Amino acid sequence: MSQKIQTALISVYHKDGLEEILQELNNLRVKFISTGGTREFIESLGYECEGVEEVSGYPSILGGRVKTLHPKIFGGILYRRENEADRKQVKAYDIPSIDLVIVDLYPFEETVVAGGSEEEIIEKIDIGGISLIRGAAKNHKNVLIVASKKQYQRLLELLRDKKGESDEEDRRWFAKEAFKVSSGYDAAIFRYFDGDNSSALRISCDESKQLRYGENPHQKGFFYGHFDQIFEQLHGKEISYNNLLDIDAAISLIADFDETALAILKHNNACGMACRPTVKEAWEAALAADPVSAFGGIVVTNRTVDRAAAEAIHPIFFEVLIAPAYEKEALDILFQKKNRIILVLKSLEQALQPMQYRSVLNGMLVQDRNMSIQSAGDLQVVTHKAPTSAETEDLLFANKLVKHTKSNAIVLAKNKQLIASGMGQTSRVDALNQAIQKAGHFQFDLHGAVMASDAFFPFADSVEIAHKAGITAVIQPGGSIRDAESVETCNRNGVAMVTTGIRHFKH
């Protein structure tokens, strides 16, 4: 059913963008009803405007807390035009017919983020605005609701193209957007009051992006988030579902390294990583770990990509390159492949949110992000032989890597270079054998290398296998009832072992 806008109730906190709307409505001879500051703004533009107080017969009271909450206002919004009983009551009580509601909400989240006082935050909990939004959206068969300036452009198009008329499909779209606004607002208020209690889960996000597909072409995929807050995309094709998974893994990994580092990831796991004085050297060492898997991977570094690094990286096909900055000469080289995605990491803080969410069954798992990083002071030497200073550096390097590798996981490293990993295995021995076999395939000498395990060794067999391969130092969390057997095996073979007390499962 087509509905012509004749009377508009307008009450907004933010006035930007409103002037153009008012001009179009005035051209269509729409009557204005408004409150306080919005009424003053409308009248300052030379338009007539009736105050809500004049309609209701009540002034704004309680310091402005109560302005629009009145039967004459909500009756004008909620009455059903097709319902005879409603029409009789509207006429009997002299209730105006309101066809358009334009309202926004007090900036609650912004006040919280800005560090407002408790009193300031509470006062930014909107009551009248949220009620107007819900009431108008409920009666969308008769009323058009605009709940955010983000919808102004769509409203302008409707006013200009349809001359102030809307059909039910139009009004239903605006109602959907209105409930998106109100649900997100309520979720933010709940999270503020709930704090860290996690008594219930309320997640809201207004930005959604449909992806080409999900993990596979037959699956739909969507991204809900604020990608542009974290990255600036300088070049390349549209980012896919799988790209996003790998980008997330890459950022989480590189965040644990302070010195110049570069990693190559494939299917969320590092297939190459190294710390070196320059990005180019780090790339060469990372690539050497597995030049086969590097094809089509994700490359991430925590330093500016210069021309020398770009010249070294450019010949290899990879999906995404992430860095905090790029020299112009480097971009000139990297841009030569049109589909290559080049990202500038703008905000690591925005990328690493404190909580992680994962859907499971008909619910969701929520946990703190694993921010634990071990230093030399956290290591407990449990063997007769202590690791050398060089081995200690490699152990800490390997421990950071194993933290970001799918369990069961084993990482072998030497001279701050990933030599090989065993990941996603059902036994720790299988993970170790996979890593040793891979190291041999790429002709790495494991003598003097170190081993990191994401969890304790249930038996001494892994330590025995590692020793025979040439590994001289081991880092693990400890905590097995058979720890003594692993320690004894190390002591017998002259292998150093340290424990951290921190398990790094990643499933």
Q: Read off the pLDDT of residues 244-299 as tens digits, 9 standing for 90 and up.
A: 999 999 999 999 999 999 999 999 999 999 999 999 999 999 999 999 999 999 99
Give the whole-angstrom CA distance, residue 461 versus residue 485. 9
Say whether pLDDT at 51 is over 90: no
Q: Which domains does the chain have, with CATH numbers?
A: 3-194 (3.40.50.1380), 226-351 (3.40.140.20), 376-499 (3.40.140.20)
For residue 200, the model assigns a pLDDT of: 85
Q: What is the arithmetic mean of pLDDT over 438-444?
A: 95
Secondary structure of 140-199 as H, E, C letters: CCCCEEECCHHHHHHHHHHHHHHCCEECHHHHHHHHHHHHHHHHHHHHHHHHHHHCCCCC
267 in active site:
yes
For residue 198, the model assigns a pLDDT of: 82
Give the whole-angstrom CA distance, residue 495 versus residue 497. 7
Q: What is the arithmetic mean of pLDDT over 200-212?
A: 85
Phi, psi of 367 (to 5 degrees): -150, 160
Q: Read off the pLDDT of residues 320-330 as tens digits, 9 standing for 90 and up.
A: 999 999 999 99
Q: Read off the pLDDT of residues 157-173 as tens digits, 9 standing for 90 and up.
A: 999 988 888 889 999 99
The count of residues in the chain is: 507
What is the DSSP track for 44-70? HTT---EEHHHHHS---BGGGTBSS-S
Question: How many of the other CB atoms lie within 10 Å of CB of 494?
Answer: 11
Give bridge partners of residue 364 from the DSSP assignment. 359
Phi, psi of 128 (to 5 degrees): -65, -45
Of 106-110, 201-205, 359-363, 398-402, the range with the lowest mean pLDDT is 201-205
pTM of the predicted protein model: 0.85
Structure tokens at 198: 């996690």
Structure tokens at 165: 């008329």
Say whether pLDDT at 180 is over 90: yes
Give the whole-angstrom CA distance, residue 446 versus residue 118. 59
If you average pLDDT over every residue of the chain, what do you get?
Answer: 93
Q: Is the peptide bond before 433 cis (omega within 30 degrees of 0)?
A: no
By the 8 A CB rule, do 194 and 146 touch?
Answer: no
Q: Which of 70, 138, 150, 235 is catalytic?
A: 138
Q: Which of 15, 70, 141, 267 is catalytic?
A: 267
For residue 69, the model assigns a pLDDT of: 82
Say whether pLDDT at 199 is over 90: no
Give the whole-angstrom CA distance, residue 288 versus residue 363. 42
Biggest distance spanned by C-alpha atoms of the chain: 98
Q: Read off the pLDDT of residues 302-313 as tens digits, 9 standing for 90 and up.
A: 999 999 999 999
Give the whole-angstrom CA distance, residue 95 versus residue 91. 6
Helices (H), 29-167: 36-44, 52-56, 71-78, 84-92, 108-113, 118-123, 128-138, 152-162
Say whether pLDDT at 207 is over 90: no
Q: What is the arithmetic mean of pLDDT over 64-74?
A: 82
For residue 312, the model assigns a pLDDT of: 97
